[in-house]
Amino acid sequence: MVHHLVITAVGSDRPGICNRLTQVVTHSGGNIVDSRIALFGTEFTLIMLISGETNAITRIETLLPSMSAEHDLMVVMKRTAPHQPPQYTYKVECTIESEDRVGLTEAFTQFFSNHQINISELSAQTQKAATSQQTEQTDQFHIFISGLTELDMDANQLEQAFKRLCQTLSVNGDLQIQAKID
């Protein structure tokens, strides 16, 4: 029987750390189904979905804690079900650009929550603005959020609510709504 395991690892970034984690998985007989890596500050972050027979998953669960201690990583593991394509009626994507300000990500995740849209992807990033001697520019903040909903909704009403939120927050935003095509 095939089992699934989600692994999250965080630690100081250095060459070879991703390879060491993937070695433990593959040498134990696990298969990497999906993975993401990102750098936050000086920290390496990884999340992966692993599949494998019972013995392989148990071996990974046994070996990763000692490997993580050796390499100063924080590792969290959780057994899960296989990935299922999400059921949805609409896919909603938005991009937001603004001066960097506290609370923008929360405002837009609240918007998705208020409209019963499950967030499936979120990327939020501050980009340093170039400064010159004559003018000082502020840092720019970019958010991308993608979500899915099974609810039948009024797309026009959602677009208007999104525009009102963008105006209230003084940000530039774009909202795209796609109906599922079967």
Q: Is the pTM of this model over 0.85?
A: no
Q: What secondary structure does DSSP assign to 53-72, as a single string? A: EHHHHHHHHHHHHHHHHHTT
Q: What secondary structure does DSSP assign to 84-152, as a single string? A: -PPP-SEEEEEEEEEE--TTHHHHHHHHHHHTT-EEEEEEEEEEPPP--SS--PPPEEEEEEEEEE-S-
Q: What is the pLDDT of residue 5?
A: 97
Q: What is the pLDDT of residue 132?
A: 58
- Averaged over successive runs of 10 residues, the pLDDT of the chain (182 residues) comes to 95 91 95 93 94 96 93 94 83 94 94 95 85 68 94 91 97 93 66
Six token digits for residue 51: 């599949």
Q: What is the pLDDT of residue 82?
A: 84
Placement of tokens 């209230």 in the chain: 168
Q: What does the angle CA 167 – CA 171 – CA 174 come to, to the nearest 5 degrees?
A: 90
Beta-strand pair 172-179/118-127:
unpaired
